[in-house]
Structure 1
Amino acid sequence: MRFKLFFKYMTLLPTVVVLFSFSAPPAMAVSTCGDVPVYTNNLVDPAILILMDVSGSMARSAPLNDPQTPDLTEIVQKNVNRSGWSSGNAMVFIISGSGHRTAVSYDGSSSAAPLLHVEYDGGAIDIRIDQGIDDAEEAVDGSISLISPDLELTYDGQNQIVGLRFNSVAIPKEATITKAYIKLTVDEGQSEATSLVIQGEAAANPPTFTADPGNISGRTRSTVQVEWPDLEEWNVDSRINISKEVIGDLIKDDSLSWGFGSWSERPPDYDGYDTTGTTSVNTGGGNYTVPSYPSGSEYFTRIQVGTAFHDATHQQNLLDAIDSLVPDGGTPLGPSMLAAKDYFSGLRADEVGSGNVYVDPVCQPKVLINITDGIGYLPHTSADYMEAYTHMLADEDISTVGVGFGLDDASQLQRLASVSNARGDADKGDNIYPLHEEIAGVGQPFMAGSKGELMNALSRITSSLKSQVFHGSAPAPTTSIDSGNVIISAKFMATDWTGDLSANNYNRSTGALGAEIWSAAAVMPTTISAYTGDGSGTVIPYSDSSLEPFYQCKPLGDIINSTPIIVEKPPFYYPFDDYNSFRGEQQSRTPLVYVGANDGALHAFNLADGVEQWRYYPESLHGDLDAALIGTNKDMCNPLRDPAGDYCHKYFVDGSPVAADVYDGSDWSTILVTGLGDGGASYFALDVTGGSGFDGNGNSIIGDGDDTTLLWEFTDSDLGLATNEPAIARVAGAGTSDHQWGIFFGSGYSADIPSQQATKEAYLYGLKVHDKTNLWAGTNKIKITSATLADDTLSSPLVVDRKNDYLGDLLYTGNLYGSMYRVADIGEGDAPTVTKLFDLGRSAHENPIRAKAAFAYAETSGDVWIYFGTGKYENSADKITMEQQYFAGLKDNEALRLIAETGANPTYSWNPITDVKGLLSHDINAINSRRVTIDAGATKGIYRIIKTCTGDVNSWLLKLDNSSPGMMGSERVISEPLVVGGTVFFTTFIPDENICSGNGEAWLYALKYDTGCSTDSAFDINDDGRFNADDMVEVDGTKYQIAGIYLGSGQPSKPVLQDNTIFVSTTGEGLKLVKVNIPENRIMLKSWREK
């Protein structure tokens, strides 16, 4: 006899339990360079003040592009294989051809001279021409030019040839060369048709060039030559315009608090007050004599916009300040550093409005990035002064970075860089960071000669800062019951953006974790079974012709928001469509773990040993993956080659996979659907019934039914970021079928241009899960409201089987304006009807509903309770919002829905300003919780109690905390609730009042499902193994039941129940196990599988 346990007040869960389905909330809009989840950084973002040299020389031109030759591997390989070659010898390249391009020579700018890059089996080298006699031009008559400020390739009144000699090439003899090219710096903008030919000199150690006629043409050239046909147009612009554009893009990174200023010796706008002699200063690096300036000196520097939390107004202030710059005057580099010190010390206001003074929040990392194109001059600047000023800034916990743009003499910035890194390395516990790259342990300044190099330098600085400052953990783990008590955990490393998936045993009685069973990164197969689409929906094996191989460097990319899912044997006992036969056929299928990663793939791992079985790269990510060709900042492998590199972290497959067993009218199958999350605007579906991977050609079934099949990929112009967790449900069918399997999801934030979010409306999608065709009459989407409601998005949808007949008939989803919508008529061929279940009447986003709702069946047949909370934690601005947030329990039924359809009014409403309730049929019982601290005794701890609560109500609303002492952000709900045994469990999060910790507080509530009052002894707070009156707390002489308990620091996951234990994971402290009391009289026999 087969029994089934049915929890009357909970939705049935499958065999695989996602115990801690935590993921960071989606990004606010399109991702900018250097994506990091908001929970990885401190409450106070790092403050970066950019000071820019606007002296007259910034009007000079600089290149917009960075041309480099085609691959020269064959030429270099031939050189290092020569009999006389030894490491440290020189190499000469000779360039001929037709057309005209002009590059910078050593005599024109030593820092922009031609550079040879070579990668070989023992490492990589970059060598720049380092003397004027190592680049030369030879005219048709054989005459040689050794001192020209530029290199004409190859027409200078007549065709000529150019010689480039690179000294001290430290490559071992017969090393295997894997990559080689020469990088040139544009000197003039030119677009003429140009094609060049490059050859090497056939000599083991060629000498320097001389003025002797024919000194280049007379050299013996190797037989190998490399053609460089159809050169792109070379362009230049002024340094000031390039700087404006690059910095303007940089400050759009909202994970950092940006400020901006400029400096020049140009009164009256840039007042400095000249020196009055010298003075002695005592610093952490010793005593120095430096110029003295009169009191009130502005040091020739304007602080146009101070550092602040990033929002649209602040960003516009920054852009306006940057755009206003005009170059003129001299280069007082040294005093500008004193201006930065004054600003961060609170002695100098910025120029926004009436002026804002920096207030140091103690633990905020403070960084000065100083950009200059010239060497500072006496009496204001010398290398010794730069050393002293850098120490003075470090004494104030300010990390200093020097960037030279078109700067030849780096001596002053070199001193700054070496001191700055030395101070940053001295004490790992302080707030000074070594942000310069090092050679032999000595910090080196960032030197840029072009737009690309300036972008690269600034990106490397911010990436280095983030890797040292940001911290965090990956999504919470997943457990398996069929395969034993196993916990699967994901993680990421921000230093190089790699990830890992690991398995541990778990003791169900004690909650203790056992030893690690496996690490996926450690057992990654040597040969990867990788697949992708060919652009037409056909799956093909990965090859170099499918995708650029830039992502193959990592065993596994970072896993940030994707929660793993385990697909084992079919878990349900559906009494229709011969599901039992399907269960029997699939009892022995191999359990697999699926997870998305920001290396661009969905990965499938064997649950038993962690070995990857296959990975799939969605077609929709081809463009993003191939973008690595554009530059190293888009190359996810760059952090592995260069830990201080300029890779701007990006999300790829960032959504969590969802699995369901579905019937297509003839066969059952297990379908896995994954959204890209913050990685893009696309969902994709795979048939993973067998799970063994794609066949040898990457195609679908080969006859045994075990192969994975690509079903579809879906995107839409109104979709936005695919951050919703899809809901797959059996709904009413049309025509001859009595049912259809549909998939539902809501639209996310704008995925293309951030500014488009301001006008973006919210849509709900309904597709047939097998083939993504329209589920509803003539459409696959509806606008959630007929009125125009811009800047909106939806929470993940909840599908409810109200009649308990295995057909979903209602859908609930919330939006940014605090409305919970109910959607009826969601079956095949229907025209969905949208009404409001609840409305907060907000005109802005004060009470957004971002977490998925939960439901429970009420005592009356056909009635359901809907539970949800408000609040979000998605960007820096959310860290300090103090708006009152709520958790609601609302009873809904068919009669209320029909009433709501007759007019525009919602069933329930609430005015957060006046606390006025809105009435149609039902009232709302408002409840307040109170934070209490018990300092001693068996019940010592921090709790939430409800002092006054009314029973026998039709709805209730819990007001969350926004008034406890010291709060900097209000309490909010950011994860899905759980309802079981007459109790609704939910977690809340409060941004930390300790701004240095960055985690915040995690709370777990347990309330009566029908009143919102405290349950009877839900928690064993005195740890005596019993649930009774001893688990109450006494406050002001009265004993109260516990409504909520403090879990620890970090953002909490949704609660999941197993064996009368609630599991929650937090980003700050990991797994939390809480024994709870669930009344058995709330459980009735109806279905088997408590999973």
Structure 2
Amino acid sequence: MQQQAQGRLSGRVLLLATIWLVGNAWLAEAAVTDISSNPLSTASGTVVRPNVMFVLDDSGSMNFSFMPDFLGYGSYMAGKCRASNGNMTASCAGTSQSGQNRPATGGDPPVYSPLVNAIYYNPQISYTPPINPCDTSQTLPTMNATNTDGWRAVRVVGHAINNGSCVQNSARANILTEYPERAYCGTVYNSSTRRNETVCKRNGIDEPATGTTNGYDWPNNTFSSGRTINSHPHYFLISPREYCTTSQLDVCTLRTTPSATHSLPAYVRYCASNADAVTSAAVSGDGRCQDKHSNVYRYARYGIFVRTDIVPEKTYVKYLDRVDCAGSVCTYAEEMTNFANWYAYYRTRSFAMKSAAGQAFATIDNNYRVGFLTINPGSPVAENKYLKIDDFEPRHKENWYKKFYSSTASGGTPLRQALSRVGRHYAGVKSGINSGMSEDPVQFACQQNFTILTTDGYWNGAAGITIGGGGIGNQDNEDQGYSRRVDGAFDGGLPGATNTLADVAMYYYKTDLRNDMENKVPTTSKDRNPAQHMNTFTLGLGLDGELSYRSDYEVANEGDFAEIKQGLRDWPVPAAESPSSLDDLWHAAVNGRGLYFSAKQPKELISGLRSALAGVSDRTGAAAASATSSPNITQSDNYIFSSTYRSVHWDGDVQAQTINPADGTVSEAHVWSAQAQLSGGGRNIFKFNRDTKAIEPFAWDNLSTAEKVYFNHKCELLSQCNGFTADIKEIANSGENLLNYLRGQSVNSGETSQTNKPYRLRAHLLGDIVNSAPAYVKHPQFNFIDNVLPNYQTFKNEQADRHGMLYVGGNDGMLHAFNTTNGHESWAYVPQFVMPNMFKLADKNYGANHQFLVDGSPQVMDVYDASSSAWRTILVGGLNAGGRGYFALDVTDEDNPKALWEFCHTNSYCNRWDEDLGLTYGNPIIAKLPEGNAHAGRWVVIFTSGYNNVSPGNGQGYVYILDAITGELIEKIGTGVGTAESPSGFAKLASSSGINGNAHIDATLVALYGGDLEGNLWKVNLGTSIPAITRLAKLTDPNGLGQPITTKPEIGKVPKVNEPVIFVATGRYLGLSDVTNAQRQSVYAIRDNGISYNGRALTPRTITHGDTTSSINGSELDWAGGGWYVDLPELRERVSLDPQLALGTLTVNSNTPQIDNVHSDGCSLGGTTRVYQFDYRTGLMVPGATHFGQKLATGLSVGMVIVRLPNGQLKAIITDAQGRKTTIGIDTAASDTVSRRTGWRELTK
């Protein structure tokens, strides 16, 4: 099911146009079922566009051509020299990077090495020209020989352009023969002798002992006078002489190749003493040397510098990312062009930011509103340093690039004031530091407001201010509200941690920026604030703070950020002009519910900014019910397991949380996250072998010839293929490469711009989990009394130590099995009938072309296998919109599954098949056939034909009965309703089973009940030799149109009513046409006494809505009339979640989507949820209850699970479309009732 709420505010213009075109299709009942290929909350198109302010650091340091700051020429020493023979150069002994001794200069090996200076030319990177601001579909000219007079006229400032004429107006430089390098000379020096190696020495060329071209030998005591001379382009790499065990580079050994224990190369380490820096012996252990430079660790300990000169008649290594090189090596022309592109477009911090950010924003369109601002815009804000937030359509986009590219760098780094300026702008302030920013960017109450703050260094300067102009103060010093430690926001309550950048971000996150607007901003489990607020993303240029950054910090279970959340450490107290201010930059993104990125290279800059922009467009959502470790909550058995997904990225997560046994509320802290642990190596992924009927690894060598076709030669079907070279197409067309990618290998995945990486880059391996409700299974829970050997109790004893497992389907094409002890993926399974669509997961445009795959909810049951005289625990799963098939596995041994069968709509994929099987939205019933049936006592799996069982298929509704172990089709029973033009849509079933209705001791079926999209409620009588299907009721709205049934009925035994009572609700939320449909929907209770009822002939009830509660009224009920019904009061109100009956109370969730044409504030595709609690005996309010219905404050709901607390109270835990959970009490009357849920078994919904 697709009951989705507002995850991000999108889908307005296109969505409304679409739904008005198809909106009458449902009412006409004459078309195939409209089923969205995306969760409805992420439909494309937009009216309410998110605001994004890009804030550029234009401080003076952005002009620097080196990074980090301690490499600065003229004031800091860049090197501890190492000669070509591997020894330290004596003349450099004692120099450090703390301001004393000899300064470094451009041309010295550390400054000309990308392994030390992150800004310098890196031969591993393809430097592509930036976007042309006058035509954003094109780039500025590449600096090849043709465009630069053979590299004698390379642009000095590549981004310089006349904004009127769009003509580049940069000065030119001859880098072919006049590229600067540093020579060190003796006392005799003149221009005629500067290249004489006996007078002047150049590093990497002139070596006193051996004449080799490696090393950092100069200056020394003899050759100490530095001179800048003309040369050709060149760079230095470093050959490590030490390898270490950890990324901190503290435990190391002398060696030139990695070992199993020492695998991390030490290109440069920073030591606490000069002695450790200069020694040729190994230096290892705490407190001596490390990876980061600081005031304590300031003595550089390098490997051996290796010089490369870019000169004619040589070729150069083609590194993996060098997509600019056509052959197996890079030619001189290719290397010079790449170097010249770096020189013109990436040579300084500012150049690199402009080129990289420009590429990141190139694909952004008018689905966003984007503005531009610098951190030093003046007061009033200068026109050339500010561009208002507006739709990012072509003209505004061109102006944005022109302002960006023409920005110049000077001044300090007042990040706190800059972030305050944007927050105040979103609050509508136009005075003070916001003077000159007159346009109001906020248009709607549900509009999201984002800031992307970029910087190259430590903040300083003016502090942040509030909306009213006061001081920010300390906004995150209490472990509560929006500054909880569990979120990583709490600053630890340390003294001095006030007026920080993180405090500014927190203030503008938690403060309602628009008191005159309703609080309608969409929320997620991460971003819980519905009031108008600012989200902050921050990007630093690869500098290190006191904490160690890792790109997966949000989900990692270890590392500095994980320790902050766990209370094992606190954020450092920030101070201006110090490394702690970089940690504050990170903390600001956490407080602002954005993301922090630390990027040293252009591709990391591009990736970070694209991730930030994706973070604007994607939102975390949920679409399925949770599972609990037990419906009977205790202090030791109180886990709840939930799934979420992210749009655009289309990845997912499964998380474990705990339920408070006292009140049923769910802790927001996660016990574990499956996403954080899943890696591509060593996974156990299986498939079904049609020939052997056995399970086998999902690996290339195990695929049949037919299966290999699903993965081979798919490049032409991928949107990115046209931009590939022949060798990259060959990689992409390899079925083995594609299969390995689907298994989790990342070697061939990359950003859209990385044309040497043929497959889509995934932030996480676990695919989106949308409609698949997880199934929790541990040791056997039933007390079956079957007269078989071995009996069930023996099986139960044998399996008593079985650990908990969680089974859930993912739209990465796999059923996943997670160990609930720790969230580790034990194994996964790929059904064969999803394989033909799995190649689409590699498409780099998949964000806009999502595909459902294994989207159904697995069902698990213990069955007896008569053929082997053994009990087994089996799992049966479907696909929902992912396809037309079911699969069955034996999961008795939870860590070692066995295949049983696959059943689908064609023999192209399955040995067991039937063409009338449609999209498998049904819930498999696993049980025994009753006496009177020709197969009495046989364990079977039963499911329906589902949706859109056409082409092939005749569209009629069917019930399939299969042998549980073999998958043999025993019976196919038709309703006779439906056509190929208008399929009936027969999906979910409810089963009546057990002695006196007690399914806990007897799984023998009595009858089945289910509904279709035409409003037919069917009963399947299995107790005859030929099972019969009859219509129990026809459910119609007041206009006589059939009401769609998409939920599973409930079955109850009402006192003084001799027959079962079937409870069913109507409505659907499957496709775009459902959003605006205003057909009246209803809830029914129907007596199964052999009469076929018209739902309108039952006894009516009336619901009346208040603001937050609802009441119900009606006359006394006489069950002789067949039952009761009630119409839902609101237009578009429908039931798309399964009603649940527990201890005599029928709990029904209704959802009412909101749409633009009804709500004038432009905020839509959210909606409301109401929860009704019926006394199932009367259809009225439960006696003694305080109210009948209540309106939840969280939007549309997607799942509900009912639990019983130790005090006996029932609680419903309701999940909304953003993954949030609300706990409400279930009122129950003094019960003389029997419901289908008797026994409260552990295999929960």
Structure 1 or 2: more strand by fraction: 1
Contact preservation (8 Å) 2:1151, 2:1169 = yes
What amino acid is aligned across from residue 712 of structure 1 in structure 2?
E
CA offsets, 1:383-424, max 9 Å, x none? 99xxx99996947679999xxxxxxxxxxxxxxxxxxxxxx9
Contact preservation (8 Å) 2:1168, 2:1191 = yes
Is 1:668–2:871 an aligned residue pair? yes
Partner of 1:924: 1098
1:713-752 pair list within 5 angstroms: 714-716=904-906, 717-732=915-930, 738-750=936-948
What amino acid is aligned across from residue 873 of structure 2 in structure 1?
T
What amino acid is aligned across from residue 1050 of structure 1 in structure 2?
G
Contact preservation (8 Å) 2:3, 2:40 = no
What amino acid is aligned across from residue 622 of structure 1 in structure 2?
M
1:164-175 pair list within 5 angstroms: none
Is 1:689–2:883 an aligned residue pair? no
Contact preservation (8 Å) 2:955, 2:979 = no
Decide which of 1170, 1182, 1192 is 1:1015's aligned counterpart.
1182
SS at match of 2:320: strand
Partner of 2:24: none
* CA positional deviation for 1:825: 4.4
SS at match of 1:583: helix
Report the TM-score when normalising by structure 2. Answer: 0.48
* CA positional deviation for 1:728: 1.8
What amino acid is aligned across from residue 656 of structure 2 in structure 1?
A
Contact preservation (8 Å) 2:1018, 2:1030 = yes
* CA positional deviation for 1:721: 3.1
Decide which of 180, 186, 190 is 2:320's aligned counterpart.
180
Decide which of 129, 145, 151 is 1:133's aligned counterpart.
145
1:784-823 pair list within 5 angstroms: 784-785=976-977, 790=982, 792-801=984-993, 806-823=1003-1020
Change (3 A) 1:550 1:22: closer
Contact preservation (8 Å) 1:884, 1:959 = no
Contact preservation (8 Å) 1:960, 1:971 = no
**Separation in 2, partners of 1:178, 1:691:** 47
Contact preservation (8 Å) 1:686, 1:712 = no
Partner of 1:909: 1094
Partner of 2:838: 625
Q: Which moved more, 1:21-30 or 1:601-610?
A: 21-30
Partner of 1:678: 881
Partner of 1:487: 639
What amino acid is aligned across from residue 370 of structure 1 in structure 2?
E
Decide which of 854, 865, 871 is 1:653's aligned counterpart.
854
**Separation in 2, partners of 1:374, 1:510:** 53
Contact preservation (8 Å) 1:851, 1:974 = yes
Is 1:1044–2:1189 an aligned residue pair? yes
Partner of 2:39: 36
**Separation in 1, partners of 2:1043, 2:1240:** 37
Is 1:1065–2:1199 an aligned residue pair? no
Partner of 2:683: 529
Report the TM-score when normalising by structure 1. Answer: 0.54
* CA positional deviation for 1:791: 5.0
Contact preservation (8 Å) 1:857, 1:864 = yes
5+ unaligned residues in a row in structure 1: which ranges? 1-20, 50-80, 95-103, 115-127, 139-145, 147-165, 186-195, 211-245, 260-283, 290-336, 342-365, 377-381, 402-423, 442-455, 635-645, 695-707, 897-906, 911-916, 918-922, 934-940, 964-968, 1022-1041
**Separation in 2, partners of 1:603, 1:112:** 42
Partner of 2:181: none
Contact preservation (8 Å) 1:866, 1:890 = yes
Partner of 1:305: none
**Separation in 1, partners of 2:1141, 2:1129:** 25
**Separation in 1, partners of 2:324, 2:1112:** 70
Partner of 1:215: none
Decide which of 779, 786, 796 is 1:583's aligned counterpart.
796
Partner of 1:989: 1151
Is 1:884–2:1080 an aligned residue pair? yes
Partner of 1:370: 393
1:492-503 pair list within 5 angstroms: 492=644, 494=646, 496-503=649-656
Q: Which moved more, 1:549-558 or 1:608-617?
A: 549-558
What amino acid is aligned across from residue 965 of structure 2 in structure 1?
H
**Separation in 1, partners of 2:819, 2:397:** 59
Decide which of 752, 755, 771 is 2:966's aligned counterpart.
771
Decide which of 537, 540, 551 is 2:696's aligned counterpart.
540
Change (3 A) 1:368 1:539: farther
What amino acid is aligned across from residue 796 of structure 1 in structure 2?
K
Is 1:200–2:356 an aligned residue pair? no
Decide which of 758, 766, 771 is 1:561's aligned counterpart.
771
CA offsets, 1:182-238, max 9 Å, x none? 6689xxxxxxxxxx965433899658999xxxxxxxxxxxxxxxxxxxxxxxxxxxx
Change (3 A) 1:790 1:509: same
**Separation in 2, partners of 1:822, 1:487:** 36
Partner of 2:1066: 870
Change (3 A) 1:550 1:884: same
Partner of 1:971: 1133
What amino acid is aligned across from residue 954 of structure 1 in structure 2?
G
**Separation in 2, partners of 1:207, 1:1009:** 78
What amino acid is aligned across from residue 858 of structure 2 in structure 1?
P
SS at match of 1:624: helix
* CA positional deviation for 1:285: 9.6
**Separation in 2, partners of 1:609, 1:92:** 39
Partner of 1:453: none
**Separation in 1, partners of 2:613, 2:338:** 40
**Separation in 2, partners of 1:1085, 1:557:** 34
The CA RMSD over aligned residues, in Å, is 6.3
Is 1:835–2:1031 an aligned residue pair? yes
* CA positional deviation for 1:472: 5.3
Change (3 A) 1:765 1:1044: same
1:248-287 pair list within 5 angstroms: none
Contact preservation (8 Å) 2:1114, 2:1180 = no
* CA positional deviation for 1:658: 0.7
Q: Which moved more, 1:606-615 or 1:1079-1088?
A: 1079-1088
1:329-348 pair list within 5 angstroms: none
Contact preservation (8 Å) 1:596, 1:653 = yes
Partner of 2:593: none
Partner of 1:1003: 1170
**Separation in 2, partners of 1:711, 1:425:** 54
**Separation in 2, partners of 1:93, 1:943:** 64
Contact preservation (8 Å) 1:1047, 1:1072 = no
1:72-151 pair list within 5 angstroms: 86-87=113-114, 88=120, 130-133=142-145
Change (3 A) 1:203 1:28: same
Change (3 A) 1:132 1:771: same
Q: Which moved more, 1:1007-1016 or 1:782-791?
A: 782-791
1:229-248 pair list within 5 angstroms: none
Number of corresponding residues: 725
SS at match of 1:180: coil
Change (3 A) 1:209 1:959: closer
Is 1:946–2:1113 an aligned residue pair? yes
What amino acid is aligned across from residue 393 of structure 2 in structure 1?
N
5+ unaligned residues in a row in structure 2: which ranges? 7-31, 51-83, 87-108, 115-119, 155-231, 241-263, 266-316, 341-362, 370-378, 400-404, 408-434, 451-504, 514-531, 542-584, 586-606, 702-735, 745-762, 907-914, 997-1001
Contact preservation (8 Å) 2:638, 2:661 = no
* CA positional deviation for 1:369: 5.3
Change (3 A) 1:535 1:113: farther
SS at match of 2:663: coil
Structure number with higher relative contact order (C-alpha < 8 Å, ≥ 6 residues apart) = 1
SS at match of 2:1034: strand
